[in-house]
Homo-oligomer: A and B are copies of this chain.
């Protein structure tokens, strides 16, 4: 029997309808009435309670469109639908494919490509989302080349992307007014500025994060005064309560969280793990779960298994040893593996299986956990 997930948000009716529709549309093999124990591994699982808590917590500080959820973190229109139902219906993304999927799913109210793209064909497709799906599309630009590419493709609105200290994209601050003028001279509307303090969001010291965001936003607000427009876009999960300058926060990881962000002591809870099956146990003290580097983003390091020490990950395996006093799980048992970085982890999977709650105190998973929803990860690749 399928349990109705507990909702923390004030949109029960709308969300419940959306969930029912997706569950009915789900694959014939996997259905929402199934227990998690029947799902083949490795598989992504989402704890509904933690996800709802995260969304509700963020919405207190950043309600409605003051939050511009970054879809790169979760690459799923199903999850984006949940955010839209909670009032956050303006999105940003890192790839054109992510935005195309959102527009097709009816989530095109206000889409921002928060990244530089030069590909003429992709930019043309992006510009066409306006006519095809009634989407509003804005593109980040940081150079004459990206402005020309956007204008040639028929893009109508841009943000000037500014280097605020992260050595990545973004023009030099003193270049921004000239680029804004260029964009306007090509007939495009300049909605404002964007600047991502990505060198700051992951710092474990709150004081350092605060000092970093202050310095970055000094630059961005100063540039904004010269460029004009209504939008100052930036920030992320790690600076969600420290960035007081942006008009919209580009956060995505807060929805599901990971062990790297967890170290920052944020009020968001871990809501995503990779479910694995123990396929081998050695009398020498280790066990092997079928979750490896093809199921885990590894750029933030090894994953975590609660109650165990992770030794290493290989293509399809993680070798771990239970801590003293913890019983080794038998062959065939289910184990949760918590990724260090959700964005590249999710990009490796096809679906997320939602359950009401994920245990946070043990590596074992109760076999009777029921799936309440299935979210397709439909925005992968490029």
Does A208 have its Cβ within 8 Å of any Cβ on chain B?
A: no
Chain A contact residues, majority secondary structure? loop
Within the assembled complex, what's the spacing in Å between the Cα atoms of A146 and B280? 9
A279 touches B315 (CB 8 A): no
A94 touches B316 (CB 8 A): yes
Within 298-356 of A, Cβ neighbours of B (below 8 Å) are at 298-299, 311, 313-317, 319, 331-332, 341, 343-344, 347-350
A118 touches B279 (CB 8 A): yes
Does A297 have its Cβ within 8 Å of any Cβ on chain B?
A: yes
B40 touches A145 (CB 8 A): no
B163 touches A282 (CB 8 A): yes
A344 touches B293 (CB 8 A): yes
Does A119 have its Cβ within 8 Å of any Cβ on chain B?
A: yes
Given A298-B299, A331-B143, CB of A319 within 8 Å of CB of B170? no
How many interface residues does A have (CB within 8 Å)?
Answer: 58
A294 touches B343 (CB 8 A): yes
Residue A169 contacts which of B94, B95, B117, B280 (CB distance < 8 angstroms)? Answer: B280
Contact stretch, chosen from A55-63, A238-246, A283-291: A283-291
Does A167 have its Cβ within 8 Å of any Cβ on chain B?
A: yes
B293 touches A116 (CB 8 A): no
* Set of chain B residues within 8 Å of A341, measured between Cβ atoms: 293
Residue of A142, A293, A316 contacting most chain B CB atoms (<10 Å): A316
Residue A316 contacts which of B95, B163, B172 (CB distance < 8 angstroms)? Answer: B95
Residue A145 contacts which of B72, B146, B331 (CB distance < 8 angstroms)? Answer: B331
Given A279-B169, A293-B297, A299-B298, CB of A146 within 8 Å of CB of B347? no
Residue of A119, A168, A290 contacting most chain B CB atoms (<10 Å): A168
> Nearest Cβ in chain B — how far from A314, in angstroms?
7
Residue A317 contacts which of B168, B277, B344 (CB distance < 8 angstroms)? Answer: B168
Within the assembled complex, what's the spacing in Å between the Cα atoms of A168 and B310? 12
Within 93-110 of A, Cβ neighbours of B (below 8 Å) are at 94-95
Does A212 have its Cβ within 8 Å of any Cβ on chain B?
A: no
* Set of chain B residues within 8 Å of A314, measured between Cβ atoms: 168, 198
Within the assembled complex, what's the spacing in Å between the Cα atoms of A52 and B166? 42
A142 touches B280 (CB 8 A): yes
Binary interface profile of A, 258-297, with partner B (CB < 8 Å = 1, else 0)?
0000000000000000000101111110101010011101
Listed A/B pairs (11) with beta-carbon separation below 8 Å: A40-B382, A41-B382, A118-B331, A143-B331, A145-B331, A145-B332, A146-B279, A167-B284, A167-B286, A293-B341, A293-B344
